[in-house]
Structure 1
Amino acid sequence: MTRRSARSTRKPSRASGLAALAGLLADETRAGFLLALLDGRAWTAGELARYAGVAPSTASEHLGRLVAGGLLAEERQGRHRYVRLADARVAQLVEELAAQAGPSVTERPRTLRESGAGSAMARGRTCYDHLAGRLGITLTDALTERGLLRQDTGFALTDAGLGWFAEAGIDLDRTGRRPLTRACLDWTERRAHLAGTAGAALCRHALDARWCVRIGSERAVRVTSEGERRFAQLLGIEATALR
């Protein structure tokens, strides 16, 4: 058997799988859908079509490919079709690729509204299920400076950090396989913020307790006056650093 024929009968390799994944991501509309779904919520096909400015039939075709490729999970409720990121691993992949790509120097806001939305996203946003932007970095730095989080050998909560989460009433579900802490490279700040189980728990508690609220239709969040008070009490963060 020649080398050529041996290669032709070989089972699909990791390289072919990687190429297929890259092909799914190598379309601006599909990439836009994945970035939108980093808000951690389920969207309808119609919502994503309007978000991307494409026809519903075009959106459905792209979503079908993303579902078949394992990047999205699909749910149906009545006549409505909802999609979301398949799991935290997909979110991590999208986050890290977006951070590597960075903001495009050729992209400029076309309207005052777009400019305002971009500024709000940079100040604070959800990144799948944790807090990102300057808000995420500020919280991560405060946890580190107070000896609650270590960054010297990768992200890890200290014993004091575990106690801090308990005292703050933030439940850490440590029963799953997801890492307790993970560093996520922030695509606007170009630094790592806290992700993993601890990052998700902090974000969920901040939203549930209304320390933070979502603003607009994007992933942007802002810190409320109650959040400013609580973050000052718990982490010594000045209110001006959260605005």
Structure 2
Amino acid sequence: MDTTPIWALAALAAAATLVGFSKTAVSGANTVSLAVFAAVLPARESTGVLLPVLLVGDVLAVLTYRRHAHWPTLWRLFPAVAVGVVAGTVFMTWADDAAVRLSIGAILLLMAGVTMWRRRTAAEEKPEVVGRGGRTKARSYGVLGGFTTMVANAGGPVMSLYLLSAGFRKLGFLGTSAWFFLIVNASKVPFSVGLGLIDGRSLLLDAGLALFVIPGALIGRACVNRIDQRRFERLVIGATVLGGLQLLLG
């Protein structure tokens, strides 16, 4: 990180702006950001650099949508998510940079595939009563979300699929997602510090990148009611696939 070139810093700044945008407009779009971070920085260390940036976006999202959260859904998810976070931490204790890079790439491609599958079947599915995703579904999504968010900060697509399948409308979706990731990402900080992923140098870089999250969040808030969701999802999926392939083949 000490010798990061200007073009790489510009790419990280753009990715940080997208984090802010995703937190207040299209949850899960920051899979593009994690691909950029993992491509520019050493893959393992990139997860620690990205986490405080995500937390800044989470705070802004909670300030914007704090009144729209569905807390019964959150309490149903948290125990399973904790199991996933612990499993992800165990994985990170032995995984080297190459293993983390391959894992992030595979997770990105998996999430892109699941998202495309969800888009094709959404029209045929009958929405459930809001917040009534069964316990088995909550546990499976929770464990997977906890693992992916700990290993790759890639829990967004997993939880997006769960909240959509549970019948959440836009504001309830954004409010529940905002509180979920603020709490989960904050709980990951001690684990990341213990793994050596967050230190003084990474926080110094984060201090600069955090400034770019704010305009991204403001743009997202202004666009949330105007955005063409389906077109944007296509762009996100395409960029995610390219990012995942770059990490797997790079």
- TM-score, structure 2 length as denominator? 0.28
User: Whose helix fraction is larger, Structure 1's or Structure 2's?
Assistant: 2
User: Whose strand fraction is larger, Structure 1's or Structure 2's?
Assistant: 1
Larger Rg: 1
**More RCO (CA 8 Å, sep 6+):** 2
